[in-house]
Amino acid sequence: MLPQAFRDTPIAHRAYHGPGAPENSRAAIRAAIATGYGIEIDLQLSADGVAMVFHDYELDRLTGASGTVRMRGAAHLQQIGLSGSDETIPTFAEVLDLVAGQVPLLVELKDQDGAMGDALGPLEEATARDLAGYAGPVAVMSFNPHAMARMAKLAPDVPRGLTTCAYEAAHWPTLPDARRAALRTIPDFESVGASFISHHWSDLGNPRVAELKAQGTPILCWTIRSPDDEAQARRIADNITFEHYPA
């Protein structure tokens, strides 16, 4: 079951980031804790099998480095500066120590297969290993249902959910039409033992979202960027993931 804190506390997207506190950085995490917000972070895998807190597959957008996260070892990644700050890329273990149960922590495992398939495992294993013994409110989620099926085996007591959306072709050009159409209906919710979804806020009118809500499923949403959008999303969603304004 998803802890009540994930319904009650607005969740800062990639932590409460802003000038000098880049997304998914320690500074952004400290800012969220200081403000009392929940925190959403992203995990990628290092070359040596360590869960790293970083959103993109490529380093270019957020750092002065190039190439993929997957091609660098954890020690090297921890030395890479995040642009516009004195921050560097943290490990998941570091972030867990920093948050230490003070606020709810929503953890998204980025797809490692490339096509929402089942060619994955090391990131899930690293995530479960780091989460062992963590006592605070925490939940994991992924766009890839196979990742959550793996987490069900590795960390069955950690609440898990699916990150979902309308899967429009323009935003998911590498996925075949049939795969996008299937994912749009959230068909794997029951089979992976999910206890919530985090759905794109502009598609909250999706009939499948209404069906899940009617069953009592917590509906989170992403990513809200204004008070007006928040007010609209909250007509359906139980809670929001937000950025660029104080929720």
DSSP 127-186: HHHHHTT--S-EEEEES-HHHHHHHHHH-TTS-EEEEE----TTT-TTS-HHHHHHHHT-
Give how many domains the chain has, as a whole number: 1
Q: How many helices (H) and strands (E) does the chain have?
A: 9, 9
Residue 54 lies in a domain: yes
CATH number of residue 20's parent domain: 3.20.20.190
pLDDT for 112 equals 97
Structural domain span for residue 82: 5-242
Phi, psi for 27 (deg, rounded to 5): -60, -40
Cβ–Cβ under 8 Å, residues 230 and 224? yes
Cβ–Cβ under 8 Å, residues 38 and 105? yes
**Mean pLDDT in order along the chain per 10 residues (247 residues):** 97 98 98 98 98 98 97 98 97 98 98 95 98 97 98 98 97 94 97 98 98 98 98 98 98
Structure tokens at 232: 């609209």
Task: Name the pairing type of β-strands 239-242 and 11-12.
Answer: parallel
CB atoms within 10 A of CB 64: 10
Cβ–Cβ under 8 Å, residues 52 and 89? yes
Residue 247 lies in a domain: no
Cα gap 163→140, rounded to integer Å:
10
Instruction: Please give the C-alpha separations between residue 46 and each of 24, 55, 99, in angstroms, as whole numbers.
Output: 16, 13, 21
Its pTM stands at: 0.98
- Name the residue type at position 98: L
Residue 192 lies in a domain: yes
Phi, psi for 227 (deg, rounded to 5): -60, -35
Residue 201 lies in a domain: yes
pLDDT for 136 equals 96
pLDDT for 129 equals 98
